[in-house]
Amino acid sequence: EAGVTQFPSHSVIEKGQTVTLRCDPISGHDNLYWYRRVMGKEIKFLLHFVKESKQDESGMPNNRFLAERTGGTYSTLKVQPAELEDSGVYFCASSQVSSRRSHEQYFGPGTRLTVT
């Protein structure tokens, strides 16, 4: 069974440009999460999809970030326009269910974004 995959693995862009990150969850996982780790800080939650619906987007930093999950399969996270403070590693995770009792999230390898 394929794990969570993310593309690209690395991206270097200039301030003001646009970048789109992609996440393919494990097949059959309705729940998809985005997290971010800024250099030297902890990993922080960005948002949570259940199928194609945004369940919780309380961690999205501002309106320069747009996440979509059309058809409830893969997800994209677009940053437009990118700022220097957006640099970091963006992780995607998926899970079958979102209840606390059986909760386990499977993580992808992350996309390292560098904004210069």
Partner 1 sequence: AQSVTQLGSHVSVSEGALVLLRCNYSSSVPPYLFWYVQYPNQGLQLLLKYTTGATLVKGINGFEAEFKKSETSFHLTKPSAHMSDAAEYFCAVIGAAGNKLTFGGGTRVLVKP
Q: Footprint of partner 1 on this chain (CB under 8 A)?
A: 3-4, 31, 33, 35, 41-45, 48, 55-56, 59, 91, 93, 98-101, 103-110
Structure tokens at 33: 């999460």
Q: The dihedral of CA 109, 1, 95, 7: what is its sign?
A: positive
| Minimum separation from the CB atom of position 101 to partner 1 (A) | 6
| Minimum separation from the CB atom of position 11 to partner 1 (A) | 16
| Minimum separation from the CB atom of position 52 to partner 1 (A) | 16
Separation CA 98–CA 95 (nearest Å):
7
- Judged by beta carbon, residue 37 or residue 78, the one nearer partner 1 is 37
- Judged by beta carbon, residue 79 or residue 111, the one nearer partner 1 is 111
Separation CA 107–CA 32 (nearest Å):
10
